A and B are shown apart, each in its own frame.
Chain A
Amino acid sequence: MNLSTLLPGLVLMSSFIPGLAIFFVPEERQRLRTALNMAGATLKLVLVAVLVWGVYHQETFRTELPLLPGMDLVLHADALSVLFVTLSSILWFLTTLYAVAYLEHSPQPRSRFFGFFSLCVTATIGIAMAGNLITFLIFYEALTLSTYPLVTHRGTAESMRAGAIYLVYTLVGGAILMVGVAWLAVLAGSVEFVEGGSLGLLSQTAVSELRVIFVLLVGGLGVKAALVPVHGWLPAAMVAPAPVSALLHAVAVVKAGAFGIVRVIYDVYGIGPAREMGVLDPLAWLAAATIIYGSLRALRQDELKKRLAYSTVSQVSYIALGCAVGGPVATLGGIVHLVHQGLMKITLFFCAGNIAETLGLHRISELKGVGRRMPLTMAAFTLGALGMIGVPPLAGFVSKWHLGSGGLATGQGWVVLVLAVSSLLNAAYFLPILHTAWFKTPEVSPEDGLARRWREAHWMLLLPPLVTALLAVLAGFLANAPFSPLGWSQLIVFREYRH
């Protein structure tokens, strides 16, 4: 027992144990609950920092637990998992801060909420560090289980309905994924995640089975990654409280699906064999269709959170697109977007939550003059929105640049076209929001004479979006620094394509 065999387990436990403890905290002990939350989040950040340093220096971290004969529960840390773990733990820290301010005064049971909140992060960390397919599946389903109570937290008829839709989609997806995983286990035994693919000779002998299994796996994962036509749960789930939406859209659920697709393509099938099987092109087309479709739907929404939700449908598919197009550069664009989209989208959802919580506004048409009343919130929102559109040198631009040039490098010029159309559409649905908020004057009604006054959100609601907006800007400006998301993704891609 030393650090290298314990650390992945410890990272997992740093949110699991506080999560369990929080369930037993009486409702009125707010300080104790917050202390547990923040202590867990801080400890996780420290542990993850150690992990990042170790993985950068080629150390291996691996925690194993026997599960079935010949099949272990494996948590390991390679470059890809560290990327996702770091993203999750930084965003968890900020979202916890935000959620405390957002929900601690609500009437619903808060211990239950924060308990499941921690379990949800635990499941995400487990997905990130899963060392084989069965471990991944276990945490993937645990994520469904722990997010359902968060989605339905408000307990209204509408949120219960959204919860039902969420369950139907994710559980059917989970069942399909399980068949794929079990089938692959029958063919190949315990399927480890290995850089460069782990199927070996099987990818030449059992091509037709592997094709079907690929469809099952990606079909199951695509539900959470919100690929069209199985994206329907995501817009419905936006009835959840703002911090939950933020986490769902930026790290937890949709990212779990996208991350799973990356794992399946690169660390199970291997990019070369997958290309030879001809399963990547259909996935790329599907991702492209999702990108366009999500943007088109987003255009028509007047409700701010719903527009953001359709925007997520569109943006998350960049990841699948980059991986399916293949080639080092496009892959780089896809993987780095995992981080960039997370930072930008969480900023947008935090801001939407602030506007709803402080001013009670939910529709875009109501946002007139909000920029003057909540300038800091709207500044963060603007940075996030411009990043999504891909204005250089913000984070979104870095992703799109690599995706586009990667497409050209592999001779798939249509990718550039898709990106261009998508960027135009992004501009078409984000710029009106900015215009309404900054440049339109609010209509002053007699009973609402204060509508022009400065009314910024509580500092705990304001700090997280400012920090994530800053991170998104830095990720773009300092893209070439060694520990930037792009720098780290280069390390991942280098290790994937070395084989």
Chain B
Amino acid sequence: MMVGDPLAWALWTILVPFAFALLVFLFPRCASHGAMAAAVGIGACSIAAVLGVLRHGPGRMAVGGWAVPLGIEIHLDGLSALMLATTALVGTVSTIYAVGYLAHAPLDGGDSAAPGSGRDHRALFMAVWLVLWGSLNALFLSSDLFNVYVTLELIGISSVVLISMAGAAQALTAAVRYLLVGLVGSLCYLAGIGLLYAAYGTLDFGLLSRASLAGHLPPMALALMTSGLLLKTALFPFHFWLPTAHGNAPAPVSAILSALVVKAPYYLLLRLWIDVLGGQITPESARLLGFLGTAAILWGAVQALLADRVKRLVAYSTVSQLGYLFLVFPLALEKSGGYFAWNGVAYFMLSHACAKASMFLAAGTLLLAAESDRIDHLDGISQCIPLPMFAFSIAAASLIGLPPSGGFMAKWLLLKSALIGGQWVTVVVILLGGLLTVAYFFRVFSRSFMSKPMIAACLSLPKGMHWSPLVLSLIALCLGLFASQILSLLQVGSPWTEGAPAWRRG
């Protein structure tokens, strides 16, 4: 029974956060404890789902016994289990961090003097964050384009609330912009699924991938959905909203947004393009996505080189790193080697999530301890907060792709795929991106490790805020050593069998 039905455990990863969100909202006094309990619960369910899917293989389950087309089905395979686990890991650490952060940085500006308001904000924060967590898990488990739409909306709206809780004017602007971008993206997506539903009467992943789709309609629907999702996942040139939003949100929120939320629409793109609607892809469209990815890698890196604040630099780094994820699309079309690229980007999502969350958490500690995260004020900061800055550098090493980090393994797989396909431009881009990553992160640690302290006072902060970035970055650093386990998890129910996805063989 313990690892009996992975799908039941997977379902609990959706129900637990929503239930605890309600509890926390109703009993604001125990917001911190409630959120921690929820994190432990979701973590346990996610581990059980991962172990279960490894043992029993992929599966689908009709929630409450109502079968498709009437009911809601959830679908669990290796990729979605990996996403659940990533979310649980980053989510748990961010929650621990957020407890300390909220105690120290009263959200929503000035009115923290009023008795009890700090606690209310804490409760609101935790409740909304749990809703976001539940929606992310629900997205990863959805097997229906409309359910995905609902989860996307929930993710977007709860993210907006969390960003706006920083209270500063910039954060509010960013939140509103994020809201509008999210709405436009959702509309595009909705239009796409509307077209599909009108023509085929189903939005179920399984039914769609087996249906014989022909004519102009499916490509058009795919194009609409893709552009909506690109907007939400901030691929260059749709990244304009990301640096402000991620750079001004409260630290734990930035971590969650950059590590998890932008991955959600990307996860869906990966599902649609490589699996569900794979037959609709033309080489030109795949190359276009690859080209935009390349542009994102370079443009994000250049902007990170010019950024004036640490959080903004890290946010532009996200723009750049997201570009790597899109290299998979042209590589997947190659006769061989696409399999490695697919594994590579899945690995990339995992290691980028850990490393980037660690960086934003470290940057948050920095911001509170030094009261500024301007890069030219960083001299000697690591003497004041040694652990977070150490974590920052280790996370940077993972993003750069130094072994034995997860980033190295991801880039190794991508590189291998590009070499097999003979795509030399991609080889150069992968390496150049890594070197640019060194260049922009070097701006931070060349100053932070100087031996002359320039900051007079250094605020003392809860231990959790020092340790949690380090935990995530150490995990990111060691991820490369567990490649065989992670790849065998990805293998479960993967669209790639015998080196090619199902639609290519058919």
A interface list, Cβ under 8 A from B: 65-69, 73, 107-109, 112, 137-139, 141-142, 144-145, 149, 152, 154-157, 160, 163-164, 167-168, 171-172, 174-175, 178-179, 182-183, 185-186
Those of B469-496 within 8 Å (CB) of chain A? 480-481, 483-484, 487
Q: Which residues of B contact A156 (CB under 8 A)?
A: 450-451
One of A138, A149, A168 near B449 (C-beta < 8 A): A149
Q: Contacts A73-B481, A155-B450: A175 and B435 contacting too (C-beta < 8 A)? A: yes
Contact of B416 (CB < 8 Å), options: A65, A142, A185: A185
Which residues in chain B, 278-311, are within 8 Å of chain A measured between CB atoms?
none
**Segment among B89-97, B178-186, B349-357, B397-405 that sits at the interface with chain A:** B397-405
Show the binding face of B for A, using Cβ within 8 Å: 380, 383, 386, 397, 400, 402-404, 408-409, 412, 415-416, 419-420, 427, 431, 434-435, 438, 442, 446, 449-452, 480-481, 483-484, 487
Query: A186, B484: Cβ atoms under 8 Å?
Result: no
Q: Given A142-B403, A156-B451, A171-B400, verify A182-B484 contact (CB < 8 Å).
A: no
Also in contact, A179 and B446, with CB within 8 A (given A141-B408, A154-B451):
no
Once A145-B397, A167-B442, A175-B431 are accepted as A-B contacts, the answer to whether A182 and B402 lie under 8 Å apart by CB is no
Instruction: Select one of B400, B420, B483 contacting A67, CB under 8 A.
Output: B483
Contacts of A171 in B (CB 8 A): 400, 434-435, 438
Q: Is the CB of B431 within 8 A of A179?
A: yes
Contact of A152 among B402, B403, B420, B449 (CB under 8 A): B449
Chain A residues whose C-beta falls within 8 Å of the C-beta of B383 in the assembled complex: 109
- CB-CB < 8 A to A179: which residues of B? 415, 419, 427, 431
Per the bound structure, the CA–CA distance linking A67 and B403 in Å amounts to 12
A155-B450, A183-B419 given; name 14 further pairs at CB < 8 Å. A67-B481, A68-B483, A68-B487, A73-B481, A145-B402, A149-B449, A155-B380, A155-B452, A156-B451, A160-B446, A160-B450, A178-B415, A179-B431, A182-B419
Which of A73, A138, A142, A182 has the largest count of B CB atoms less than 10 A from its CB? A182
**B483 surroundings in chain A (CB, below 8 A):** 67-68
User: A73 to B403, alpha carbons, bound, how many Å?
Assistant: 12
Please, how many angstroms separate the alpha-carbon atoms of A486 and B494 in the complex? 55
Complex contact B484–A67 (CB within 8 A): yes
For the complex, give the distance between the alpha carbons of A418 and B499 in Å.
53
Partner of B420, one of A66, A108, A186: A186
Beta-carbon contact of A182 and B416 below 8 Å:
yes
Whether A178 pairs with B442 at a CB distance below 8 angstroms is no
By the criterion CB–CB under 8 Å, are A142 and B402 in contact? yes
> What 4 pairs between A and B have smallest CB-CB spacing?
A155-B451, A138-B403, A66-B484, A175-B431
Contact of B419 among A109, A149, A186 (CB under 8 A): A186
* A152 to B402 alpha-carbon distance, docked (Å): 19
Which residue of chain A is the closest to B428 with respect to CB atoms? A179
Cβ contacts under 8 Å, B450 to chain A: 155-157, 160
Expressed in whole angstroms, the Cα–Cα distance for A183 and B422 within the complex equals: 10
Task: Please tell me if the beta carbons of B446 and A182 are within 8 angstroms of each other in the complex.
Answer: no
Complex formed: what's the CA distance from A57 to B408 in Å? 38
Question: A69–B412 Cα gap in the complex (Å)?
Answer: 13
Smallest beta-carbon distance A144→chain B, Å: 7
Q: Judge whether A178 and B431 touch: CB under 8 Å.
A: yes
**Closest approach, in angstroms, between the C-beta of A209 and any C-beta of chain B?**
11
Please give, as numbers and ranges, the residues of chain A lying within 8 Å of B412 by CB-CB distance: 68, 178, 182
Do A175 and B449 touch (CB < 8 A)? no
- A179 CB to nearest chain B CB (Å): 6
Chain B residue at minimal CB-CB distance from A161: B446
Residues of A within 8 A of B452 (CB): 155
Given A66-B484, A182-B419, A186-B419, the answer on whether A141 and B403 have CB atoms closer than 8 Å is: yes
Given A183-B419, A185-B416: A137 and B403 interface contact (C-beta under 8 Å): yes
Given contacts A155-B449, A182-B415, contact A164 B484 (CB under 8 A): no
Query: B480 — which chain A residues lie within 8 A by C-beta?
Result: 67, 138
- By a CB distance below 8 angstroms, the chain B residues around A160 are 446, 449-450
CA distance A146 to B446 in the complex (A): 15
Q: A142's closest neighbor in chain B, by CB?
A: B403
- In the bound assembly, the distance between CA atoms of A167 and B431 in angstroms comes to 15
* Residue in A152, A156, A175 with the greatest tally of chain B CB atoms within 10 Å: A175
Q: Which residues of B contact A109 (CB under 8 A)?
A: 383, 386
Contacts of B487 in A (CB 8 A): 68-69
Query: Chain B: which residue is nearest A140 at the CB level?
Result: B403
Whether B446 lies near A163 (C-beta < 8 A) is yes
- Give the docked Cα–Cα distance between A172 and B434 (Å): 9
Residue of B nearest to A155 (CB): B451
By beta carbon, the residue of chain A nearest B432 is A175
- A181 → B minimal CB distance (Å): 9
Q: Min CB distance, A405 to chain B, in Å? A: 40
Contact partner, B434, options A142, A155, A175, Cβ 8 Å: A175
Could you say which residues of chain B place their CB within 8 Å of the CB of A65? 481
- Does B402 contact A172, Cβ atoms closer than 8 Å? no
CB distance from A484 to the nearest CB of B (A): 35
Name, among A65, A156, A160, the residue most crowded by chain B CB atoms within 10 Å (CB to CB).
Answer: A160
A193 to chain B, nearest CB (A): 17
Task: Give the distance to chain A from B409, nearest Cβ to Cβ, in Å.
Answer: 8
Roughly how many angstroms separate A23 CA and B400 CA in the complex, as a whole number? Answer: 23
Chain A's closest residue to B413 (CB) is: A68
Kindly state the separation between the CA atoms of A131 and B484 in the bound complex, as whole angstroms. 18
Chain B positions within 8 Å of A138 at CB level: 403-404, 408, 480
Q: List A contacts of B416 (CB < 8 A).
A: 182, 185-186
**In the complex with contacts A182-B419, A185-B416, A141-B402 CB distance below 8 A:** yes
Contact residues in A for B434 (Cβ distance below 8 Å):
171, 175
User: A157 to B446, alpha carbons, bound, how many Å?
Assistant: 9
Contact of B451 among A108, A142, A145, A168 (CB under 8 A): A108
Q: Which residue of A lies closest to B419 (CB)?
A: A186
Distance in Å from the Cβ of A466 to the closest Cβ of chain B? 32
A106: nearest chain-B partner, CB-CB: B451
Residue of A nearest to B452 (CB): A155
Chain A neighbourhood of B438, CB < 8 A: 167-168, 171
> Which residue, A112, A168, A174, A178, has most C-beta atoms of chain B within 10 A?
A178
Question: Could you say which residues of chain A place their CB within 8 Å of the CB of B419?
Answer: 179, 182-183, 186
Nearest chain B CB to A221 CB, angstrom units: 16
A73 to B449, CA, bound (A): 33
Docked Cα-Cα span, A156 to B438, in Å, equals 20
Residues from chain A with a CB closer than 8 A to the CB of B431 are 175, 178-179
| Minimum C-beta distance from A4 to chain B (A) | 22
User: 6 A–B contact pairs at CB < 8 A?
Assistant: A68-B409, A68-B487, A141-B408, A155-B380, A163-B446, A171-B435
Q: Return chain A residues, CB-CB under 8 Å to B409.
A: 68
A164 touches B442 (CB 8 A): yes
CB proximity of A137 to chain B, nearest CB, Å: 7
